[in-house]
Structure 1
């Protein structure tokens, strides 16, 4: 059986890759020209040989949100609708009622709603109507910047989640907040906030399946913190006491961690109480800060993914291990829908690696396939087709 992946990122092309489960081999099937810096893509539907998608183009000052489709039988790729965004659009979701997309912009510092239509013939398309956009108030406005002066000088919304309660949640790296947003028709309003420790720089968050706990990853602190979401109040929610885990491997000196970034946070779709969290830039510590001392001369093969095992109630950490990859700067990773495979990507090199996930707790990662030859660099994202 062959599975396909679509690779995208800061590169000239979308790349379709076959993963043959029998032979455990990856092979390039096709390349299609893509918009600039296609940093996030999601599948919307499949009809015969046609896959339909939503994607982002991540320009720093102006970006775009667009829909497109790939017809594998006819070897074509075309954009089907498009709308402009503010700078560096980072992440979007399709709302559960299929009425709109909600987008967070990193440099724009905004949360925006884009109306959509969905038909059998054309699939999901962006409507030709203005977006609804709100701008959270920068939490460190009085000081002019957050604890990390170089990176926390405005709101930097990096992700959007939708809860079963209908509320939206938006991690903001600049403000050290996860904003809670209420949507009423075409209106958006901030109705609460989750406060993460100062200097954390929240990048990604996930809910447990019952949505009683939210885990938040700090890009700059390299810490995963947890929040009790079982209450109905949206007043200021603070971190759960006793839960904090640093996901940097012990091979990195504590004084060198600030030159790394944490990237993505995933929950296994069927195995509870395990988190997968990726690190990046370990091979570039000395390059990013030449004044550092005691940086190992021998560089690691690549970055690591932390496997964090949680207690049965999800409120404490029972153990952490690290999977050492041969990927340089893991910017993206994606589990298959059945949780059997994880595809991890090297933005600066190493291409793509596919790991088989096993063990009673999803703690065993086995590298079964990799591909880098003839694969354009700059990969930031993958989706299983």
Structure 2
């Protein structure tokens, strides 16, 4: 982990900003005190909403979530974490909202929400992008007329083996697994979620045995057994993200598993909370433990930093809020610090 003399940890924040505003914000968190500060910002891109670092952290890939979707590549200065634009490619899809990089750093994957399509780009010299090697457009719709009038690919990521790319399509209520064959995406299998659930993001357990999907529209998490050899998901459990007796509208947003594999966290917009689950180490099933206020509005994204820090990006209250994770039971305690950032929607640690 790169640290300054003050024992700081860097992280980038993606935002909903216009090109003439501070869009990608470089921040630092003091590992001793928990205090955060803004180091610098990068302008010149519309809605740099989702960010992903390459495996060696030398490049940052940025989705420009617009009707004319783009994927941008920035070279990161190893000494200062400042960004320098190197490349940009159109995704040929609308509203790219997710970016991931394969573990070997050879391929960048993007999902286009509005057009319901996914892309693969080969990585060339110095992290730049070669011409797109795959563009797959989904078809169909779900039962929710307002949100599922067509396909909405909300995330795409490699599985732990690197053999497959896994897509959550909110509009189709499907988890779609593609075989990755030299930059091409070949449909492997599809797993149906409950009608109207709206799968959004997926995380794999550190053991590789289980995976967890957060379903935006019906506010649930689905626990799966994952067969890495077969690229197959088998449902274990559906569990609510909301506390019992909750009333009012809301949508689930993001999901993370702790490095130790014992805790799972998920965020609720509307309830504006983070729910903590304990993961049964034998079965992979979840038990809801507690709900913690995000001390802000619309926690679209959150992430885990070294030292047991959880940072929440509260989009509509324009702040990032820090919590300390208890190493024994995973419970969250606000450490007293907030950072004002306009419309933050993605937190990417420099590790």
Structure-1-length-normalised TM-score = 0.81
Structure 1: 5+ residue stretches without partners = 141-145, 283-302
Give the aligned partner of residue 224 of structure 2.
Answer: 227
Q: Is the 8 A contact 2:269 2:299 kept in 1?
A: yes
Give the aligned partner of residue 381 of structure 1.
Answer: 346
Q: CA offsets, 1:193-240, max 9 Å, x none?
A: 1111111100011122232222111001111112222375467x5532
| Counterpart-to-counterpart distance in 1, 2:107 and 2:78 | 27
Give the aligned partner of residue 311 of structure 2.
Answer: 343
| Counterpart-to-counterpart distance in 2, 1:377 and 1:251 | 32
| Counterpart-to-counterpart distance in 2, 1:34 and 1:26 | 24
1:205 aligns with 2:165: no
1:280 aligns with 2:269: yes
| Counterpart-to-counterpart distance in 1, 2:238 and 2:25 | 37
Give the aligned partner of residue 264 of structure 1.
Answer: 254
- Cα 1:82–1:384 change in 2 (3 A) is same
May I ask how many residue pairs the two structures share in their alignment?
A: 338
Listed as ranges, the matches of 1:178-193 within 5 Å are 178-193=175-190
| Counterpart-to-counterpart distance in 1, 2:213 and 2:11 | 27
What is the alpha-carbon root mean square deviation over aligned residues? 2.3
Give the aligned partner of residue 3 of structure 2.
Answer: none
Choose 1 or 2 for highest CA Rg.
1
1:151 aligns with 2:119: no
Give the aligned partner of residue 126 of structure 1.
Answer: 129
Which of the numbers 247, 254, 260 marks the counterpart of 2:241? 247
| Counterpart-to-counterpart distance in 1, 2:202 and 2:78 | 33
| Counterpart-to-counterpart distance in 2, 1:84 and 1:350 | 29
Q: CA offsets, 1:250-301, max 9 Å, x none?
A: 4622xx2xx211110100012x23210001133xxxxxxxxxxxxxxxxxxx
Structure-2-length-normalised TM-score = 0.89
| Counterpart-to-counterpart distance in 2, 1:306 and 1:101 | 30
* Offset of residue 369 of structure 1: 4.0
* Offset of residue 33 of structure 1: 1.0
Listed as ranges, the matches of 1:1-385 within 5 Å are 1-11=7-17, 12-13=21-22, 14-44=24-54, 52-59=59-66, 61-71=67-77, 77-85=83-91, 86-118=93-125, 123-127=126-130, 129-138=131-140, 140=141, 146-165=142-161, 166-230=163-227, 232-233=229-230, 239-240=235-236, 243-250=237-244, 252-253=246-247, 256=248, 259-270=249-260, 272-282=261-271, 303-336=272-305, 338=306, 340-361=308-329, 363-372=330-339, 375-385=340-350
| Counterpart-to-counterpart distance in 2, 1:277 and 1:53 | 25
Give the aligned partner of residue 143 of structure 1.
Answer: none
